[in-house]
Amino acid sequence: MVAVTTSSNIESTSFVLAKTSSVDAAYSDPDLLIREYFFSSSEQRTDSRSVVAQHIKGIKTVLAVLSWGASGKARDGFDGAVNLLAETSDLEVLSSACRAAETYYPQMHANPSTKVFSERFLEILTKAIACAYKINANQRLGLLAQILVLVNNRVTAASLIDALVIISDESDVNLVKDLLKRFTNSPDQYISDYALEALQEIDQGEG
The answer to whether the CB of 58 falls within 8 A of the CB of 92 is no
Is the pLDDT score of 207 beyond 70?
Answer: no
Query: According to the model, what pLDDT value does residue 109 have?
Result: 95
pTM here? 0.83
Is the pLDDT score of 8 beyond 50?
Answer: no
172: Cβ contacts below 8 Å, ≥ 6 apart: 138, 141
CA Rg value for the chain: 18
Alpha-carbon gap, residue 160 to 14, rounded angstroms: 34
Is the pLDDT score of 29 beyond 70?
Answer: no
Q: pLDDT tens digits for 88-97?
A: 999 999 999 9
What is the 3 state secondary structure string of the chain?
A: CHHHHHHHHHHHHHHHHHCCCCHHHHHHCHHHHHHHHHCCCHHHHHHHHHHHHCCCCCHHHHHHHHHHHHHCCCCCHHHHHHHHHCCCCCHHHHHHHHHHHHHHHHHHHHCCCCHHHHHHHHHHHHHHHHHCCCCCHHHHHHHHHHHHCCCCCHHHHHHHHHHHHHHCCCCCHHHHHHHHHCCCCCCCHHHHHHHHHHHHHHHHHHC
User: Mean pLDDT over residues 65-80, rounded?
Assistant: 93
